[in-house]
Amino acid sequence: MGSYDVIVIGGGPGGYVAAERLGAAKKRVLLIEKAALGGTCLNVGCIPTKTLLNSAKLYAHALEGGKFGVRAQGVSYDWAAMQAWKREVVEKLRGGVAATEKKLGVEVVEAEARLIGPGKVEARDRGGAATVHDAGAVIVATGSVPAAPPIPGARDNPKVVDSTGILELAEVPKRLCVIGGGVIGVEFAGLFSALGSKVEVIEMMDEIIPFMDEEQAPILRRAMKDVAFRLGCKVESIEGATVRYSAKDGSKAAAEADLVLMAVGRRPLVDGWGAKEAGLDHSPKGVVVDERMRTNLPGVWAVGDATGRSLLAHSAYRMADVAAAGILAGGGATRAANVMRWSQGDQLQSIPRALVSGANVMRYGAVPWVVYGLTEAAGVGMTEKDARAAGLDVRKASLPLRVSGRFCAESGFAAPGAVKVLADRATDRILGVHVVGAYASEMIWGAAALVEEEMRVSDVKEIIFPHPTVCEAIRDAVFEL
């Protein structure tokens, strides 16, 4: 048995960042990870997908360079080389995480962890040997897994893969059917269509990326010209690589493909590691936590996808900061009795900043999101629909990104792109910022700061944006309000 200040279950973004913060504070930390440091994001999620997407972008830009005065002959891509580069990136970044943990004195153990109760965690290695460790605090960071809906013909079908399996393909499929028009489905659709696959996306909702602003989502969809979208359609069954679906009017159709990607989202991993047996308050939607990431068990915190609150790596980073700060502060170690049972559907609920000034708590109202691809999309804060549903009198301004000289110079005058800014008429406060187009992922952090700090339109007008940049379009939109 080993004794520690803190035991962290799971080495993904939430787990390894929490371990780093606590290690930096000279706490004795044990990090237990059953697979590879970095979790889903680094190994089979964010990093490998963006690496492949970048290769696809380079290929597409090479094909289209003629209009910018750059011509190349015999342009082609090498899928095996793309996969090799992806593996190199993942392995080096994983090594970087390991080096940081070691530098900060964090002990990392490769084992399967089980929460026995407050302050006690069992670690079982690959050989089956189990060791029970104790600690003053435990952080649960078990992550999430791909959702698997009970579609007839999907289970044990070699022609059906999830977001992990599709990253290891030996070759690019000629025809790909994607079930799900959310972030994962759209990103993979964009990747493979850029490489020449015939891609068809089947989405049950009436528009892709359901949480996007209703005026922005169609811009992103139309930008993906080589992808066929079947919206408002329900998948009925899968036979080999043939996906049978029905439309809202009752008509039936089938998508013929060589491979099917099941991309209907992810679910918190709340089973298989002792949550129920330990008495941890949880549901299929995640481990129940308060704004300080505390659970109902004394000395047990939970962060990241396991909470079901916001299944994003950067949300996990912030949750890790909050949990670590709570442990270091030595305050109350048990969740408040009247905690809201948060679920994924409540993501826009957030504690007003004025009520938590100076406190290290998790707020969700300014968590940015990004859809990566040849055309990017990003947003933060409320959509217009959200704001009106909340009873707010909304002011809005939308502008095409071609108001930016840099956007036109680098993307062309016909490239898709738009920015939309929302404000509350009564208070002048910025409610949300939404962008489709080049560099959306790199400018949304600034918009997040505007929303997080509850800045007013008049405040933003005083900020100097560098020129020429694409982010200037946000400033221009603010002046339109």
Query: How many CB atoms within 10 Å of residue 279?
Result: 15
Name the nearest CA neighbour of 372 among 184, 145, 181: 184
Residues 6+ apart with CB under 8 A from 119: 134, 135, 136, 137, 138, 299
Cα end-to-end span (Å), the chain: 62
φ/ψ of 364, rounded to 5, equals -110, 0
Burial of 277: CB neighbours in 10 Å, binned 0-12, 13-18, 19+: exposed
N residues, the chain: 481
Write out the catalytic residue numbers.
467
Structure tokens at 9: 């279950």
**What gap in Å lies between CA 67 and CA 54, rounded to an integer?**
20
Separation in Å, CA 233 to CA 242, 264, 315, 371: 15, 13, 31, 22
| Residues 159, 163, 164: CA angle, nearest 5 degrees | 90
**Rounded distance between C-alpha atoms, residue 250 and residue 237, angstroms:** 15
